[in-house]
Amino acid sequence: MIFETHAHYDDEKFDTDRVELLSSMKEAGIGHVINVGANMKGTRESIHLAHEYDFIFAAAGVHPDDAPRMTEADIEELRKYGADPKVVAIGEIGPDYYWEKDPAIREKQIYWWKRQMDLALELDLPVIIHSRDAAEITMEVMKEYATKGIRAVIHCYSYSAEMAKEFVKLGYYIGVGGVVTFKNGRKLQETVCHIPMDRILLETDSPYMAPEPYRGKRNDSRYIPEMVKKIAEIKGISREEVEDITWNNAFDLFRKAKEWNI
Ligand code: NI
């Protein structure tokens, strides 16, 4: 069975066939899904989905696109969600310097990212990190929080293999998505080659980042076997081993999910 650690089934791209699609997951070998909040609305919808479907968990958090406009009331609301039995992580949170060029707004991203990191520590929940074109600040902040004992996955990992090894040394997991199947996905393939199997998590970021041969189409968790195939090839192990190890990795990081493992 596959543990999908990062999807956005609340996205409007699933409005036409959400129920049908989610009902077909088990049959396609998808045992669990974490639906990740990207803003307050997405967080509420993720929790709603997690309550509706046994196999879905939720992550509560605000992505850097919206984080600069967060308020104390949002932190309070996220704190309340942390107590929900199906909320297994805070995320997705982090810096995005690709879309945001204004230094003052970048500073706000970092401020609210750290506030959500502090909240995760307080709630004893792991964090799902979104980081784009911001390698240096991400390493700096993740080093600081490693000393505080935070648990984390660097989702949709896009930096160097060298840096991945450093994140692994800090105790973090690396989220591997559809890019690993791309012809120009060499950097991520190299990362997979250089980090231990017990630090890899499977994820899609659906509806985005569909793997080959579906590249450019709407993504969903049923395409994960394409990533499994590629990782098995790189690591020289069987597809079953990739599924089993990443399944256990997900439960090691998202501990609260263990109570629901059916
Ligand atoms: Ni995402």
Rounded to two decimals, the pTM is 0.97
Centre of ligand 1 to C-alpha 11, Å, is: 11
Digit-coded pLDDT (tens) for 175-206:
999 999 999 999 999 999 999 999 999 999 99
**Stretch 121-149: mean pLDDT, rounded?**
98
Helix (H) or strand (E) holding 30: strand 30-36
Q: pLDDT tens, 67-100?
A: 999 999 999 999 999 999 999 999 999 999 999 9
Distance 155 CA to ligand 1 centre (A): 8
Residue 261 pLDDT exceeds 70: no
Interatomic CA distance for residues 243 and 226, integer angstroms: 12
pLDDT digits (tens, 9 = 90+) for 32-71: 999 999 999 999 999 999 999 999 999 999 999 999 999 9
Distance 205 CA to ligand 1 centre (A): 5
CA quadruple 113, 99, 34, 41: dihedral sign:
positive
Average of pLDDT values for 96-124? 97
Q: Which of 256, 147, 143, 247 is nearest to 198 (CA)?
A: 247
At 98 the pLDDT is: 94
Share of the chain above pLDDT 70, in %: 99
pLDDT band at 260 (very low <50, low <70, confident <90, very high): confident
Task: Provide the total of helices (H) and of strands (E) in the chain, helices listed first.
Answer: 9, 8
Neighbours of ion ligand 1 (CB under 5 A): 205
Q: What is the mean pLDDT of residues 12-23?
A: 98
Distance 92 CA to ligand 1 centre (A): 7
Residue whose entry in the numeric block shows the structure tokens 């077909």: 24
How much distance in Å is there from the Cα of 40 to the middle of ligand 1? 14
**CA 125 to centroid of ligand 1, rounded, Å:** 18
How close is the Cα of 146 to the center of ligand 1, in Å?
22
Concatenated DSSP letters for 98-121?
TT---HHHHHHHHHHHHHHHHHHH
- CA of 66 from ligand 1 middle (Å) equals 13
From the CA of 252, how far away is ligand 1's center (Å)? 20
Distance 7 CA to ligand 1 centre (A): 6
CA of 193 to the centre of ligand 1 (A): 24
Ligand 1 mean position, distance from CA 3 (Å)? 16
Cα 116 to Cα 150: distance, rounded to the nearest angstrom: 11
CA distance 129 to 121: 14
